[in-house]
């Protein structure tokens, strides 16, 4: 599938993400982040973010359906832009229609859900996450206004996001019926999950997708060009640590950022009755032609009847 250059799309936030992640991943800040747990970084940042939220309120800059900064633990900056960017991919790459039923796994604080509220006019949306505060905000602000958009929290373990989670991701069953959804997507979630958990989630996603339904996942994928970016230091992230079946930037909390070999994606999907429609490389690896910040994988659920 063709790559696209985004020079003519000024609202695409990939360049901004690249610059921010590059700055955070190189030098001393990387070590500070490694030895300060995610929840502690959130607490330490809170007074500053609450100050900015207060300023937004005073200056009348607070927008409806945009969470306050101090609550937004998932995807700083570009909340609105990233949502709009992905709505375009759901329509253009996955054929999303206004009457479709959609599942957003690892929905965070509703970044992808908000723009869908104006597109899914007769369809419906389910959001699922392991962090209660984000789900609470979505229920109070999105479901209240759009009852066809529902959110639920699940107590699944993730060393970065939910270290006290009771259920291992590889044992988790999605609380939905077989073949219920037209589209299932995970944006910036498999980039925080380890191999056995990834394999299990893909099987579960395939189970809940209708035949012919589409899925969209973002990843950090290592192909020749990404490896060149890593070797030359021009990638935003440094996947220096190899684990069984993946690479991570952080040996203390591997879920901080996880990369996979690009060659394993088609077989992974195929084992689970999903066909790979295309991989769209992202800006994170330092390449000049890209679609988004992370790599985007599109798949289709095999039809029940094989021809
Ligand atoms: C970087 S955030 C992205 C949030 C959202 N998808 C977005 O794009 O705004 C990663 C999200 O994945 C969620 N997550 C991590 N592991 C998960 C799991 N095993 N099941 C469901 N969600 C998970 C985290 O709680 C967090 O909200």
Task: Kindly list the protein residues whose Cβ atom lies closer than 6 A to any atom of ligand 1.
Answer: 74-75, 105-108, 111-112, 129-131, 134, 156, 158, 161, 169, 187-189, 192-193
Local structure of residue 244 (DSSP, 8 states): T
What average pLDDT does the segment 220-230 reach? Answer: 97
Quickly name the fold that domain 14-301 has. Rossmann fold (3.40.50)
Question: What is the per-residue pLDDT across 76-123, written as a single tens digit (0 to 9) for each?
Answer: 558 899 999 999 999 999 999 999 999 999 999 999 999 999 999 999
Q: Residue 229 CB: number of other CB atoms within 10 A? A: 18
Pocket test for ligand 1, best of 75, 106, 284 (most atoms within 8 A of CB): 106
Which atom of ligand 1 lies nearest, measured to the CA of 189? 12
Please choose, from the candidates 90, 93, 70, the residue with its C-alpha nearest in 3D space to the C-alpha of residue 82. Answer: 90
Pairing, β 221-222 against β 258-261 = parallel
Cα of 226 vs centre of ligand 1, distance in Å, is: 24
Of 65, 145, 53, 156, give the one whose Cα is nearest residue 111: 65
Alpha carbons 215 and 91: distance in angstroms, whole number: 12
Backbone angles phi, psi at 277, to 5 degrees: -85, -35
- Torsion, Cα 229 231 233 239, to 10 degrees, reads 90
pLDDT in tens, 193-212: 999 999 999 999 999 999 99
- Backbone CA torsion sign across 284, 285, 290, 296: negative
Mean of the pLDDT values across residues 248-270? 97
> Closest Cα to atom 9, ligand 1: which residue?
111
Phi and psi angles of residue 19, each rounded to the nearest 5 degrees, phi first: -60, -45
pLDDT-derived band of residue 2, with 50, 70 and 90 as boundaries?
A: very low
Per-residue tokens: 67 = 């969470």
Gap between the Cα atoms of 270 and 267, Å rounded: 5
Q: What is the pLDDT of residues 269-283, one digit of tens each?
A: 999 999 999 999 999
How far apart are the C-alpha atoms of 102 and 128, rounded to whole Å? 11
| 151 and 138 Cβ atoms separated by less than 8 Å | yes
pTM: 0.91
User: Which tokens in the block code for residue 163?
Assistant: 């270290």
In the chain, the percentage of residues whose pLDDT exceeds 70 is 93
**DSSP assignment letter at 63:** P
Q: How far is the CA of 305 from the centre of ligand 1 (A)?
A: 34
CB atoms within 10 A of CB 87: 17
The residues pairing with 102 across neighbouring beta strands, listed in sequence order, are: 125, 183
Rounded to the nearest whole angstrom, what is the distance from the C-alpha of residue 133 to the centroid of ligand 1? 12
Gyration radius of the chain's alpha carbons: 19
CA of 303 to the centre of ligand 1 (A): 29
Q: How far apart are CA 286 and CA 170, in angstroms?
A: 32
Query: Would you kindly state where each structural domain of the chain is located, as residue ranges?
Result: 14-301
Q: CA 300, CA 215: separation in Å to the nearest integer?
A: 6
Atom 11 (ligand 1) nearest CA: 106
pLDDT bucket at 37, cuts 50 / 70 / 90: confident
Q: How far is the CA of 3 from the centre of ligand 1 (A)?
A: 26
* pLDDT level of residue 25 (50, 70, 90 thresholds): confident
Estimate to the nearest angstrom the gap between the alpha carbon of 242 and the chain centroid: 22
- Residue 76 is predicted with a pLDDT of 56
Q: What average pLDDT is seen over the chain?
A: 91
Other beta carbons within 10 Å of 207? 17
Whether residue 233 has pLDDT greater than 50: yes
SS3 call for 274: strand
**Among the ranges given (13-17, 128-132, 204-208, 231-235), the one the predictor scored with the smallest mean pLDDT:** 13-17
């Amino acid at each position: 599938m063709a790559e696209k250059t985004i020079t003519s799309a000024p609202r695409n936030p990939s360049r901004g993400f690249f610059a921010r992640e590059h700055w955070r991943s190189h030098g001393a800040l990387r070590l500070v982040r490694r030895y300060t747990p995610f929840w502690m970084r959130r607490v330490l940042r809170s007074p500053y973010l609450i100050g900015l939220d207060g300023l937004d309120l005073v200056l009348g800059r607070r927008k409806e359906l945009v969470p306050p900064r101090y609550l937004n633990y998932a995807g700083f900056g570009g909340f609105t832009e990233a949502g709009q960017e992905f709505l375009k991919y759901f329509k253009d790459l996955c054929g999303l229609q206004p009457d479709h039923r959609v599942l957003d796994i690892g929905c965070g604080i509703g970044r992808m859900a908000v723009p869908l509220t104006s597109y899914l006019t007769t369809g419906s949306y389910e959001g699922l996450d392991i962090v209660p505060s984000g789900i609470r905000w979505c229920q109070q602000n999105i479901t209240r206004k759009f009852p066809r958009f529902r959110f639920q929290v699940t107590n699944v373990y993730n060393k970065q996001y939910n270290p006290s989670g009771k259920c291992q991701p590889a044992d988790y069953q999605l609380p939905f019926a077989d073949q219920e959804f037209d589209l299932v997507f995970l944006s910036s979630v498999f980039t925080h999950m380890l191999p056995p958990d990834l394999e299990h989630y893909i099987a579960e996603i395939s189970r809940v997708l209708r035949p012919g339904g589409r899925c969209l996942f973002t990843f950090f994928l290592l192909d020749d060009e990404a490896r060149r970016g890593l070797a030359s230091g021009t990638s935003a992230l440094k996947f220096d640590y190899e684990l069984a079946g993946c690479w991570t930037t952080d040996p203390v909390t591997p879920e901080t950022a996880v990369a996979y070999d690009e060659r394993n994606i088609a077989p992974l999907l195929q084992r689970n009755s999903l066909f790979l429609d295309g991989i769209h490389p992202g800006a994170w690896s330092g390449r000049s032609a890209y679609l988004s910040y992370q790599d985007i994988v599109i798949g289709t659920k095999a039809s029940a009847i094989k021809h």
